[in-house]
Amino acid sequence: MKKLTADKKIREQLFTAYIIIIVIGLVMIYSTSSVMAESRFGSNFHFLKNQFFWVLVSMFAIWIINKVDLKKIAIYSAPSLFGIMLLLLLVFLMPTRNGSHRWLILGPFTMQPSELFKLVMIFYLAFSLSNPKRNLSDWKQLLFPYVPLLGLGMMLIVLEPDLGTVLVIAITAISIFFLAGAKLKHMIFGLAPMAMGALVLVFGLGYKKARIMDFISSIGNPLLGSYQSKQAALTLGAGGITGAGLGDGRQKLFFLPYPHTDFIFASIGEEIGLVGLLFILSTLFFILWKGLKVASMQPDKFGFLLAAGMTISLFINIAINLGVVCSILPVTGLPLPFISYGGSSLLISSAAIGVLLNLSRRVVVKR
């Protein structure tokens, strides 16, 4: 029996888990969207075909990412962020979808620049903070250029509006700063204005205030929560231990909003029950665990911060989506990585896997 090297074993395990979760996503997208697709587009395969196309694109992206030198690419991350900001401005010229300017519409395809900003930001921070000339004990070097650059990008995403993605970006950035060695007091000092700005934005200017108030009300009385939260709770609880059966869910019949995107986890719970959900969660957290393992075995600070940043970003995205579905958090509109319908989310999440697979070739086995 051939013995695998450590890096090859990690790659095979990570890619296998990725394939499993992608297949589950395709199956559940078809199951949860077929009725809606037939009603709106005349074909129950509409959403499945679109998602399968993005699966192929994502596979190609992973292959490309595995062939490149990530450190050489990271050199261009700062100018790339400015380019993405232009795309973030361009979305405001596009027609609204569900009351938001989040998408660039390119013929039959759509793209969310905010997802791209999230990915490139991790490259930028990993490359910049791993520079030995960067003095992380000097608060001025933490303030400039990071706060203006990242702050402008997040402000544009807030205006779309897309609070969920801003939360993922902010928490990921803070985590990378912490892992890079930034002082806690400097981070708190930098977070205070952001926290005050968020309070003014929500309670002063009314940004997403209704959702926040609905969530606060639901803590004392679940019946006062938003329609989406109540339907998600009903859907999630309807499956019991083993579920109603694949394809036999009832809440997807125009009761649960977005059963194939934001609330697909609830739809999955109704159809395959707690047992199925535990398997999916186990697969997702296996991917996260392997990501952290890749990070811990990197030979340099750049690889460590890049792998950790990709893994943390995936974790936060997963955690927020599950928190919304379980009514622990206000509704944010974040998809569940690898499983929810959506090309931008799948492509960027897959790119993160590609980065981890690339970095797994650089692992150092400690003896």
pLDDT in tens, the chain (367 residues): 344 456 788 999 999 999 999 999 999 999 999 999 998 888 999 999 999 999 999 999 999 999 999 999 999 999 999 999 999 999 888 887 777 778 888 777 778 899 999 999 999 999 999 988 887 777 777 777 888 888 888 888 888 878 889 889 999 999 999 999 887 776 776 666 666 766 666 655 555 666 666 666 666 665 566 778 888 888 888 888 998 988 888 888 878 888 999 999 999 999 999 999 999 999 999 999 999 999 999 999 999 999 999 999 999 999 999 998 988 888 887 899 999 999 899 999 999 999 999 999 877 665 5
Q: Show Cβ contacts of residue 113 under 8 Å, excluding neighbours closer than 6 positions.
A: 84, 87, 88, 90, 91, 104
Q: Which residue has the tokens 């394939």?
A: 19
Per the CB < 8 A criterion, the answer to whether 26 and 48 are in contact is: yes
Of 306, 354, 295, nearest to 11 (Cα)?
354
Cα–Cα distance for residue pair 241/258, rounded to 1 Å: 23
- Per-residue buried b or exposed e for 101-137, using 16+ beta carbons within 10 Å of the residue's own CB: bbbbeeeeeebbbbbbbbbbbbbbbbbbbbeeeeeee
C-alpha atoms less than 13 angstroms from C-alpha of 73 in its C-beta half-sphere: 16
- Please, what is the Cα angle at 228 between 153 and 327, to 5 degrees? 80
pLDDT at 1: 37
pLDDT at 3: 45
Cα–Cα distance for residue pair 198/91, rounded to 1 Å: 22
Judged by DSSP in three states, 239 sits in coil
Amino acid sitting at position 27: V
Judged by DSSP in three states, 7 sits in helix
Q: Which residue has the tokens 């199925």?
A: 276
Q: Show Cβ contacts of residue 217 under 8 Å, excluding neighbours closer than 6 positions.
A: 224, 225
Kindly tell me the burial class for residue 355, based on how many C-beta atoms sit within 10 Å of its own C-beta (0-12, 13-18, 19 or more).
buried
pLDDT at 154: 87
- Please, what is the Cα angle at 326 between 321 and 331, to 5 degrees? 55
Distance of CA 348 to the CA centre of its chain: 8
Considering the entire predicted model, what is its pTM?
0.91
Pair of tokens at residue 146: 């990071």
Give helix 6-41 / helix 264-296 axis angle, nearest 10°: 160
Of 158, 229, 169, 232, nearest to 197 (Cα)?
158
Judged by DSSP in three states, 268 sits in helix
104-106/109-111 β-pairing: antiparallel
User: What distance, in Å, lies between the first and last C-alpha atoms of the chain?
Assistant: 23
Distance of CA 196 to the CA centre of its chain: 25
Which residue ranges make up each domain of the chain? 74-337
Judged by DSSP in three states, 53 sits in helix
CA dihedral 230, 234, 236, 240 (to 10 degrees): 160
Per the CB < 8 A criterion, the answer to whether 192 and 361 are in contact is: no
Cα–Cα distance for residue pair 214/223, rounded to 1 Å: 10
C-alpha atoms less than 13 angstroms from C-alpha of 298 in its C-beta half-sphere: 22
Cα–Cα distance for residue pair 301/290, rounded to 1 Å: 18
Pair of tokens at residue 344: 């931008």
